Structure 1
Amino acid sequence: MTYRNLSACVADLERHKHLVRIDAEVDANLEIAAIQRRAYRAGAPAMLFTRVKGCRFPMLANLFGTMARTKFIFRDTLRAVEGIFRLKLDPFDAFRHPLRYTGVPRALWSMLPKSVSDGPVLRHRCAISDLPRLISWPMDGGGYVTLPQVYTESPDAPGPMQSNIGMYRVQLDGPDYEKDREVGLHYQIHRGIGYHHAQALRRGEPLKVNIFVGGPPAMTPAAVMPLPEGLAEILFAGAMAGFRIPMVRQSHRTGGLPILAEADFCISGTIAPYQKPEGPFGDHLGYYSLAHDFPVLRVDAVHHRPDAIWPFTTVGRPPQEDTVFGDFIHQLTAALVPQVFAGVREIHAVDAAGVHPLLLAIGSERYVPYAGERQPQELITCGMALLGSTQTSLSKYVLIMAHEDAPSMSTHDFPGFFTHMLERTDFTRDLHFVTRTTIDTLDYTGISLNQGSKLVWAAAGPRKRQLADTLPGDLPLDARSEDGGLAAAGGSFGDPRLFGRGIVVLRGPKHTARRDEHDPAMHALAARLAHAQGLDGLPLFVVVDDPAFTAANWENFLWVVFTRSDPATDMYGAGEFTHCKHWGCTGPLVIDARLKSFHAPALETDPDVERRVDALAAPGGPLHGYL
C-alpha cells in the first residue's frame, strides 16, 4: 500500500495493530519525549497522542521505531527501490533476472515530482506559537522541530531537479527570536542547503525556504538520505512513495517556492541577513550542542491541512529512533559502496559512537600484490576517499582493514574488528592524521566549532603481536615523588581494567587543560609506559573518567572513546616521535577519552518527568503494556 499523506499511513498502521491512540493528556515539555524514548527501547507500536497539553494538534511518536514497521510502511515500493540500486550497480542484471525488476519502470516514473495547482496543506493557516512546543531535554533552549523536511531550490537553477531536502534542526521559539516571526535554522557543515545559501548570497538575493512537517512518509527517509550533490531528494522520495510527489506550483500563495501538497504543515519564509543564537539542544552524540549563531528564517506563513498530525522523534545518545533510519538506509545502499568508493568493500558508520565520530571500513590491498609482505597502501587511498566525499567525509576516526587478511570479517563484529586491527597495526607507520580540518558541527572535541582533526588508521599484513587477555600486576600508572607521594606532573591514574583483548581502560585525573592543548599528565603516562616491561600484548590504553562504565560493554566503550576524543589532540604514545611530519609511537597507543573542560555536558533526564512516565506506564495507566 502507498500512503499519499500521513493520515492514510496512521489509519493503515492502526488497522494492522502497528499504532495505538493515547487519549490521556500528555505534556510536550519533556514528558512526551521521555515516553517516545521508552517506546523506542521497548519496541512499542507507533503512538498517536490525541490530547497534547496546550496544543490543538495531535502528535505522532515512534513511527519509524522498528525496522519491521519501517519496512511495512514501504512494503509495496521497497523491492522496486532496491531494484533501482541494483541496476545502478549492474545494469545487465535486468536481462538475466527480469522478474526482479517488474516494479522499476513505475518507480522511475514516480521519481518525477508532479506540479499541481492546490493541495490540502493550504486549507488553513496558523501561527508558529500554535505548533507543538516539543522540549526533549531539560537544558533545551526552546521548542524545536525534530522531523522537518527543509526544502530549498538552487538560485542558479530553480526547479525541483536542483532542489535539496534536508533534516535540519528548526528552533521555534526562544528569548532571542521574535515571536511568530522568526525561527532558528540550524544547518550544519556539509549540508546541501549551504550550497543554495551561498548561491543566493553571491547573487545578492534572499533564499526562500519551505519547511514541511508530515506528508507522505517517504519524505522523511528522503530528507536524511546521503545522496550525492546534485541528485534531488525529492526524486528518491517519489520512488519510495510509489507515486509522483505532488508539489503546489509557485504562486503568491506559496511564497514563491513550491509546497508539498500533502504535507501536514508548511512553514514558509526567507533566510534573514543576520544570525542569532540557536540552542542549546540535546543531540544524537549524547550531549548538548551549545548555543551558537546560526541563520534565522523570517516567517511569512504557516499552513496546515485540516487533519494535521505533528510527527516527532527525540535525539540523544544512541540507539534512538534515528538508528533505524541509519540501518534502513545502510541496507538500501550497502551494495553501492564499492561503486562509490573504489576499493572499499564495506563501511559501517557506528551508531553507538554517534555515527560520524567512528567509521569502520574494509577495503582491498592490491597495489603491490607481488610484495613479500602486505602493508597499507591502497587502504590509505581508500581511507582518504572516504574522507573526501558524501557523508563519510564527516567521519573523525576511519579504521580500515584489508579484506585479503580476513575475508569473513564484518565491520559489525566489534570485538573481531578491533582485535584484527590491534594485532596488525604498526604504530610507527599506520596512523595518518589530517589536522585543522572541518569536522561535524555537533562534535565538541575539536579545537573550535566545525574544526578539529581526523585519523585514517589502516592495518594490513600478518599479525605483529599476540594480544594479552590478562593485565600485568605492576603497571606504572602514577609518577612518584621521592617521599612516595604522587608527583604533580604525573597526575593520578588508576583502576585499570582489561576491555577485550589488548585494550586497557583506566581512570585518569580530572581534565583541566585548555582547548587545543596537550595534557602534560598524559605525556607523563605515555613516557612511563614506554619504559614498562610486558606490554607487547597491550597495544591500546584508554584513559577515561569512569572505567567501570566504559568497560561494561562495547556500546559504552565506543561511545566514550570516540565521542570524547580528538585524534590529533588526544592521542599519545609510548615512545612517540615525529619524523618529517609523520607521527607514530613504538609502544602502546594512549587515547585520552575523558570529558574535557570545554566539552558540552552529557544528556541527563529529569527525575520528576521520569516518575510521571512511570505512573503512566504502571498497571491501570494509559501506557501500561507498551513501555
Structure 2
Amino acid sequence: MAFRDLREFIRALEKEGELFRVKETLSPILEISEVIDRVSKLPGGGKALLFEKPEGYSIPVLANMLGSEKRIKMALGYENLEDIGWKLYKLLKPEIPGTFLEKLKKIPELKKLNDSLPKKVKDGPIRENVKTKNIDILDFPILKCWPLDGGRYITFGQVITKDPESGIRNVGLYRVQVLSPTELALHWQIHKDGNHHYWKAKKLGKKLEVAIAIGGDPVLSYVASAPLPPEVDEYLFAGIIREDGVELIKGVTVDLEYPAHAEIVIEGYVDPNEPLVDEGPFGDHTGFYTPVDKYPKMHITAVLHRNNPIYLTTLVGRPPQEDKYIGWATERIFLPLIKFQLPEVVDYHLPAEGCFHNFCFVSIKKRFPGHAYKVAYALLGLGLLSLEKHIVVFDDWINVHDIGEVLWAWGNNVDPLRDVLILKGPIDVLDHSTNSVGFGGKMIVDATTKWREEGYTRQWPSVVEMIREVKEKIDRLLVDPRSSLRELFRT
C-alpha cells in the first residue's frame, strides 16, 4: 500500500496504536530531543511521537516515525523486506528474453516498471505557500539535538541534486546545519554522491542547485538513506517499492523536481567558488560528537510548505535510535543483491551498536580453503560496505543476528595469530578512532571451521549437541497435557 503523503501515514499509525501525541509544550532546543532519545531506547523502539506544541511554534514535530520493525514495514508496505531487494535486483540485472513467448511474459513486468516511473505534475499541495522574500528558515521548529551541537539541524530532509554532467538525480540523507535565516551548511561526506556532484560543479565552474524536501510518503524518507548505485534514481526506487510512481513537481527557483506532496521544501544553490564554511560539532549516530569541519554553504532562494505543515525530524546519537530500524531495513533489502554477487553468502548483519560501519558479521557456505577471506575482500569492494572496519566470517549455521552465538563462535574458532588480517582502506568519515579522516585500518576475522589446508594440524572438535531421537521425545512431552514438563516450560 502506497501512502499519498505524511498525513495519511500518521492516520495509519494512529489507527494501529503506533503514534503518541505529546501535549506538553516542549522546546525544540534539547527538550524534544530528550523525549525522543528516551522513547527510542524503549524495547522495540517505542512509538512514533507527534509533538503538538513545540515552544514558540504552531507547527507540530513528528519524530521516531520509522523507529520500529512494525512501522518501517508499514511505511514500505512489505512484511518481508527482502522482496524489495529482489525487485531492485531485477531493475539492475534485467534478464534478456530469448524467445517470443518469453518476451510476452515480460510485458506485465515492463508495465509495472513503467508504472513506477516518477510522474511530473504541474501542481500539488507543496505549492500552497511559496515564499521567495523575507525568508527565515527558523519559522520551522528545527531542533537543536544535543548540548554541544553547533546549532539547529535539519536531520530528515531529502537533499536533491543533479549530476552536473549526466543530469542524473541524487536524493541523499545528509544533515543540514542552520547558519542563518537564509543559509545552511550541507554535510556532504567524501564518499557520498552529493559530494561528487559538488566537486563536478566546482570543476565546471557552475553553481549547483539544491532542493531539500521534508515529508511526503514515508518511503521517500527511507530511500534518501538507501545506499543505491549512482545510476539508480532514488525516486524511481521509491516508485518500485510503492508500485506507483512518485508525483514530482518542478521547483520555483531551481531546475529540480521534488515530491508534490512533501510538507516543506527548501530551494537554493551552492556556489563552489565560495569558501567552505565551518559545520558542527554534531552529536552523531556513533554516540560521539563529530568535530567542526569545512563543508559547502547553501543559499536559500525559496521556501514552500503545505497549509498547516508537519515538521519531520529524526534524532541520532548513542544507539539505539530510529536509525537502528532504518539500517535494519537496508540490511534486509540489500541482502539479495549481495547474494547475487556472492552466492555463498547465507546472511549478514550490521549491528546498530556497531554504528553499521564498525562490524559486519557474515555467514557463508564454505567450499574451499581461504573462502572466508575471498568473501571479506569482495564485501570490501561493494559500495558503502567498503567502509566496514571489522568483517567477521562464520559458518552457514551460525545466526549472525544472535550476538551470543556470534561471540561464542568468534571466541572458540579464532586463533588471532592465524585467523586475523589487518588491512588499510577507506573508513567512514564519522569514525574518530583513525589518525586520518576517512582512512585507516581494517580487520578481517575468519571465524569459520578450519581445514587442514588452512594450516590447522589438529582434529577439529564436534559441537556438543543432543541426538535427534531424544530431542523429539522431549518435544512430544512438552505438548502432552499429562506431562509435568509441559507445565515446567510453560512458565
The TM-score, its normalising length taken from structure 1, stands at 0.65
Q: Where does structure 1 lack aligned partners over 5 or more consecutive residues?
A: 93-100, 174-178, 368-373, 467-627
Is structure 2 residue 12 aligned with structure 1 residue 19? no
Structure 2 counterpart of 1:445: 433
1:328 to 1:464, Cα distance in 2 relative to 1, 3 A: farther
Distance 1:7 1:226 in 2: 27
Report SS of the residue matched to 2:391.
strand
Q: Which runs of 4+ in 1 moved over 4 A?
A: 76-80, 85-92, 101-107, 462-466
1:465 to 1:68, Cα distance in 2 relative to 1, 3 A: farther
Report SS of the residue matched to 1:286.
coil
Pairwise CA distance, 1:390? 1.3
Is structure 2 residue 446 aligned with structure 1 residue 458? yes
Deviations 1:24-76 (A, max 9, x none): 21111111111112222334432222211122321012211221122223337
Distance 2:94 2:183 in 1: 48
Report SS of the residue matched to 1:356.
coil
Structure 2 counterpart of 1:256: 255
Structure 2 counterpart of 1:397: 390
Distance 1:228 1:332 in 2: 14
CA contact (8 A) 2:253 2:301 kept: no
CA contact (8 A) 1:108 1:239 kept: yes
User: Which gives a bigger RCO, structure 1 or 2 (Cα 8 Å, sep 6+)?
Assistant: 2
Distance 2:227 2:344 in 1: 20
Deviations 1:452-502 (A, max 9, x none): 211222244158899xxxxxxxxxxxxxxxxxxxxxxxxxxxxxxxxxxxx
| Identity score, percent | 31
Pairwise CA distance, 1:85? 4.9
Pairwise CA distance, 1:428? 3.3
Structure 1 counterpart of 2:65: 63
Supply the AA of the counterpart residue of 2:216. G
1:284 to 1:244, Cα distance in 2 relative to 1, 3 A: same
Structure 2 counterpart of 1:153: 162
CA contact (8 A) 1:337 1:346 kept: no
CA contact (8 A) 1:248 1:254 kept: no
Distance 1:134 1:464 in 2: 60
Supply the AA of the counterpart residue of 1:54. G
CA contact (8 A) 1:134 1:145 kept: yes
Pairwise CA distance, 1:316? 1.1
Distance 1:190 1:304 in 2: 31
Pairwise CA distance, 1:143? 0.4
Aligned partner (choices 114, 117, 120) of residue 122 of structure 2: 117
Structure 2 counterpart of 1:561: none
Supply the AA of the counterpart residue of 2:348. I
Distance 2:284 2:142 in 1: 17
CA contact (8 A) 1:111 1:234 kept: no
Distance 2:365 2:325 in 1: 29
Pairwise CA distance, 1:357? 1.0
The TM-score, its normalising length taken from structure 2, stands at 0.81
Distance 1:394 1:132 in 2: 34
Distance 1:263 1:136 in 2: 23
Greater helix proportion:
2
Structure 1 counterpart of 2:412: 423
Q: Where does structure 2 lack aligned partners over 5 or more consecutive residues?
A: 97-105, 460-491
Aligned partner (choices 78, 83, 87) of residue 84 of structure 1: 87
Distance 2:458 2:212 in 1: 55
1:26 to 1:108, Cα distance in 2 relative to 1, 3 A: same
CA contact (8 A) 1:81 1:104 kept: no
Alignment of 1:263-412 (within 5 A): 263-273=262-272, 274-341=275-342, 343-367=344-368, 374=369, 377-401=370-394, 403=395, 407-412=396-401
CA contact (8 A) 1:78 1:240 kept: no
Deviations 1:264-285 (A, max 9, x none): 1111111233211111111111
Pairwise CA distance, 1:3? 1.4
Pairwise CA distance, 1:183? 0.5
Structure 2 counterpart of 1:72: 74
Pairwise CA distance, 1:209? 1.1
Structure 2 counterpart of 1:169: 175
1:350 to 1:21, Cα distance in 2 relative to 1, 3 A: closer
Deviations 1:223-263 (A, max 9, x none): 1112123111111111233421111135xx24222232111
CA contact (8 A) 1:334 1:346 kept: yes
Alignment of 1:498-509 (within 5 A): none
CA contact (8 A) 2:286 2:318 kept: yes
Out of 78-87 and 119-128, give the one that drifted further: 78-87
Pairwise CA distance, 1:396? 0.8
1:156 to 1:397, Cα distance in 2 relative to 1, 3 A: same
Aligned length: 436
1:83 to 1:398, Cα distance in 2 relative to 1, 3 A: closer
CA contact (8 A) 1:29 1:134 kept: yes
Distance 1:87 1:298 in 2: 39
CA contact (8 A) 2:59 2:141 kept: yes
CA contact (8 A) 2:73 2:79 kept: no
CA contact (8 A) 2:85 2:337 kept: no
Structure 2 counterpart of 1:50: 52
Report SS of the residue matched to 1:432.
strand
Report SS of the residue matched to 1:417.
helix
Supply the AA of the counterpart residue of 1:396. K
Structure 2 counterpart of 1:98: none
Out of 126-135 and 286-295, give the one that drifted further: 126-135
1:112 to 1:408, Cα distance in 2 relative to 1, 3 A: same
Report SS of the residue matched to 1:172.
strand
Supply the AA of the counterpart residue of 2:122. S
CA contact (8 A) 2:331 2:350 kept: no
Is the radius of gyration larger for structure 1 or structure 2? 1
CA contact (8 A) 1:361 1:399 kept: yes
Structure 1 counterpart of 2:476: none
Report SS of the residue matched to 1:134.
coil
Alignment of 1:159-198 (within 5 A): 162-173=168-179, 179-198=180-199
